[in-house]
Chain A
Amino acid sequence: MNQIVEPISRWQYFWMVAISTVAGGIYLWPQYLVQHMGPNGVFALLTSVGLATALLMLQVALAHRLNQATVLSGIRRLLPVLGIGLIFPISAITCLFTDLLLLVLYGQMMHNFFYPLTPIVVIDGLIAASAGWVAFRTLSAVARSVQFWFPIILLLTLVVVTFSIPNMTHLAALLPSSDFTLRPWVQGTISTWFLFSNGSVVITLTPHVRWTHPRQAYTTVAAAMAMQASVLLIFYVVCLATLGAPAVSRLWWPVIYVFSLISAQAFFFKGIGVFVLITWTSAIVLYLAVHLFCLSFNLFDQMAEPATMLTRVSLVFGLVAALTLGTLFVPSELMARALVFHWVNPLSFSWAAISDPGLWLIARYRRARMVAR
């Protein structure tokens, strides 16, 4: 085994799973949800969280069955050719591509709201580099960073949410509507899947946690998802109750917009937007860091010996450079949005829905055959 992994605690795992899902793209949300579902958006929200939790449960089950250091070695043992040649690359590329698009959109958001004259590639590059700076360390160091910062991010977010309570005047907008149709519900569910592209974090980390009982993994993942679902629900309530569904569906960054409306006269400074800037940037840095860590850890584990620290650093910063350079090839923000909502979401959803249960079934079948022998 290599030196970058020493077991982490259950709660560190909880925070890492939580930040690896929703934190990356929440600033884009819930425009598409509301656009499709109108006042019934909350149903699509609950469905997508439920589906994501179910798939993560399958990942935990698979990780328990594979019982390998990394997901890549597990898949290699399960399906030597198909796993290395097809399944893992598709998973990794989908995840990296989603991360790239979210980074582009985040950079654009920062450019629009805060730094109009700073080149976007500088913003993107610095965020990716900071993520890399966290990600090339050992697992316990990454976990400590997440465990320290994520609660602070959540607390600051909560402060900002409290300040926007006076603006929440359309409580009628929260009531679900009586006309519920299937198609927008499916669209609303799938169009927010970018929030849940997990980047194999659960399946990679599960074997490296000090569990007192294997069942704890399921409850911890469920708790992490429940926490993120409640964050989503809070944001949904704030956006809808402040603006109503028709206005939310017209905004590209509804959450940021809603928080920019806060005008706290009592504060020394006028804009609470500073908090949003700090919290969102640190959230996306940690989100990218956890994804980068898991991907590079999987790759690093398969590399020929002797794998030195230098290999690992160059691997992580190679990925960072790829992300930064990738942002240059996304021509516009509109294109990035179209890619996320019309291509990446359905693709990554279908891939997760096929690969997770598929791998789990294969692992189960193999185990049954081995036991039979």
Chain B
Amino acid sequence: MRRSRRALGGVLAAMLALGLSGCWDQFSLDQRQTALAISAKPGPRGTIQWRAYFPNPTVNVSSLSQISSHDQFFQYHVEASTLAAALQAIQDKLANDLYTEQLQVFIVSPRFSTQQLASLIGAYNRQAMLPKSAYVLASATPASAFPIKIQQPPPTVFFDNYFNCRTCHPLYLAMRAWRFWDRLVTPGVSPVLPYSTSALTVRRLLVYPPQGLPVIFGPKASEGWALLTNHVVNESLTLNTQGDLIGLDHIRSHAMTQVVSGRDGLRVNVRIQVRACLNQWPPSRIPTLAGNQAIARKVSFYLATLANRAIAQAEQSHTDPFGWQRSYLFRHPRMLPPTRVGINAHLSPVQAKVTVTTQMTSQGVSE
């Protein structure tokens, strides 16, 4: 009996090891290509042009310094109307298994309307093998000029490095695929994407209205958005007062939002607390407490202008990129208009009041 039990155990253990190790899903490295980035832009006749970027398998760590950055990756281009068809077509062209679980960025064209993008991101989210923590961004540059400039031994694409650095940028505008999908299906908030123009910095935002093409928020409105939604991480500012240049850095902000329902829509009260370091001022001007307070008031005024600019632009485009209505609708789901949820539905106009208070600090070692 004991022997048969052991034999049974051995057979079971072998079966478990074989089965759960995923023999069926095992591919050797030369049979599989890892896509690191996928981009999509509208093509002719309602199709979509897709591009997938792969690290060049012939590059190894020691050869990295000798080859140009463009040889480190290779790309495939296909035309298909859906994401699934595109992945299939890429795999077909590769003649290899397409491995997408390491995807780092999904780049979309700003020429997609909200509905088109919602359907695309919905498909992306449905695919279990596409990582939901990949970054999504909009880029106006043609997909062939996709910038791959910083290259490190584990193959990474530029925007993955860019967004992974949480303190390098003044505003943290990164949007992960799941957050973007969440915004698309949650009523009361407009989906927002970081928008990269030709330069390798992201200072603009695309805000998606319930229908139609996205609205571009310029650098100032984007900064206003970041102030109102706690995305200012390391901003710097130069003030020009009566010909004197005053430099401020390490600017961080914290916004506290209060949303109440009024008779004529939602009333939003945002109090933004800003901390800024005074790092440069003209030698003729000795820093005093009163002088510091005057600078702080100027900073507050300037930042409040930026926040109000973002609010005005949102109002103009009938969007709510700040998610104020969302936080209200979470508690009052019955208030939803009877439209199909999925494309963000809006409640009512919002009246927002912004108060900015700035606190000056110093991190230097001398006066």
A-B contact count (CB 8 A): 97
The segment from B8-16, B80-88, B194-202, B288-296 found at the interface with A is: B8-16
In the complex, A273→B262 CA distance in Å?
A: 45
Given A133-B9, A247-B181, A261-B178, check contact A118 B19 (CB 8 Å).
yes
Which residues from A are CB-within-8-Å of B129? 116
Residue of B nearest to A246 (CB): B186
Q: Within the complex, which residue of B131, B330, B333 is in contact with A172, where a contact is CB–CB below 8 Å?
A: B330
Contact with B along A160-190 (1 / 0, CB 8 A): 0000000000101101111100000000000
Q: Within the complex, which residue of B12, B23, B334 is in contact with A179, where a contact is CB–CB below 8 Å?
A: B334
Asked if B132 and A261 make an inter-chain contact with CB atoms under 8 angstroms apart, the answer reads yes
Which residues from B are CB-within-8-Å of A247? 181-182, 185-186
Asked if A130 and B333 make an inter-chain contact with CB atoms under 8 angstroms apart, the answer reads no
Smallest beta-carbon distance B122→chain A, Å:
9
Q: Is A148 an interface residue (CB 8 A)?
A: no
Which of the listed residues A119, A123, A176, A177 has the most CB atoms from chain B within 10 Å of its own CB? Answer: A177
Contact with B along A265-309 (1 / 0, CB 8 A): 100001100000000010000000000000000000000000001
Given A177-B331, A247-B182, check contact A257 B25 (CB 8 Å).
no
Q: Is A115 an interface residue (CB 8 A)?
A: yes
Asked if B330 and A244 make an inter-chain contact with CB atoms under 8 angstroms apart, the answer reads yes
Given A129-B15, A170-B330, A250-B185, check contact A257 B22 (CB 8 Å).
no
Chain B positions 170-187 with a Cβ under 8 Å from a chain A Cβ: 176, 178, 181-182, 185-187
Chain A positions 235-271 with a Cβ under 8 Å from a chain B Cβ: 243-247, 250, 257, 260-263, 265, 270-271
In the complex, A309→B19 CA distance in Å?
A: 28
In the complex, A245→B341 CA distance in Å?
A: 12
Q: Is B346 an interface residue (CB 8 A)?
A: no
Q: Is B6 an interface residue (CB 8 A)?
A: no
Asked if B9 and A126 make an inter-chain contact with CB atoms under 8 angstroms apart, the answer reads no
In the complex, A271→B326 CA distance in Å?
A: 30
Q: Within the complex, which residue of A116, A175, A309, A310 is in contact with B330, where a contact is CB–CB below 8 Å?
A: A175
Smallest beta-carbon distance B189→chain A, Å:
9
In the complex, A53→B24 CA distance in Å?
A: 43
Asked if A246 and B187 make an inter-chain contact with CB atoms under 8 angstroms apart, the answer reads yes
How many residues of A sit at the interface, in one of the four size bands? Answer: 35 or more
Given A112-B128, A116-B25, A133-B9, check contact A126 B15 (CB 8 Å).
yes
Q: Within the complex, which residue of A122, A175, A243, A257 is in contact with B331, where a contact is CB–CB below 8 Å?
A: A175
In the complex, A261→B128 CA distance in Å?
A: 12
Q: Is B67 an interface residue (CB 8 A)?
A: no
Which residues from B are CB-within-8-Å of A313? 5, 8
Q: Is A39 an interface residue (CB 8 A)?
A: yes
Asked if B333 and A245 make an inter-chain contact with CB atoms under 8 angstroms apart, the answer reads yes
Which residues from B are CB-within-8-Å of A114? 22, 25
Asked if B326 and A270 make an inter-chain contact with CB atoms under 8 angstroms apart, the answer reads no
Smallest beta-carbon distance B89→chain A, Å:
18
Given A117-B24, A173-B330, check contact A122 B132 (CB 8 Å).
no
In the complex, A38→B12 CA distance in Å?
A: 44
Asked if B333 and A123 make an inter-chain contact with CB atoms under 8 angstroms apart, the answer reads no
Asked if B330 and A245 make an inter-chain contact with CB atoms under 8 angstroms apart, the answer reads yes
Q: Is B102 an interface residue (CB 8 A)?
A: yes
Asked if B12 and A130 make an inter-chain contact with CB atoms under 8 angstroms apart, the answer reads yes
Asked if A115 and B24 make an inter-chain contact with CB atoms under 8 angstroms apart, the answer reads yes
Q: Is B280 an interface residue (CB 8 A)?
A: no
Q: Within the complex, which residue of B12, B25, B176, B185 is in contact with A118, where a contact is CB–CB below 8 Å?
A: B25
Asked if B133 and A118 make an inter-chain contact with CB atoms under 8 angstroms apart, the answer reads no
Smallest beta-carbon distance B2→chain A, Å:
10
**Nearest 6 interchain pairs by C-beta:** A263-B133, A118-B24, A112-B128, A117-B24, A172-B327, A126-B19
Given contacts A39-B330, A170-B330, A263-B133, 9 further A-B contacts (CB under 8 A): A133-B9, A133-B12, A172-B331, A179-B332, A246-B186, A261-B132, A261-B133, A271-B101, A313-B5
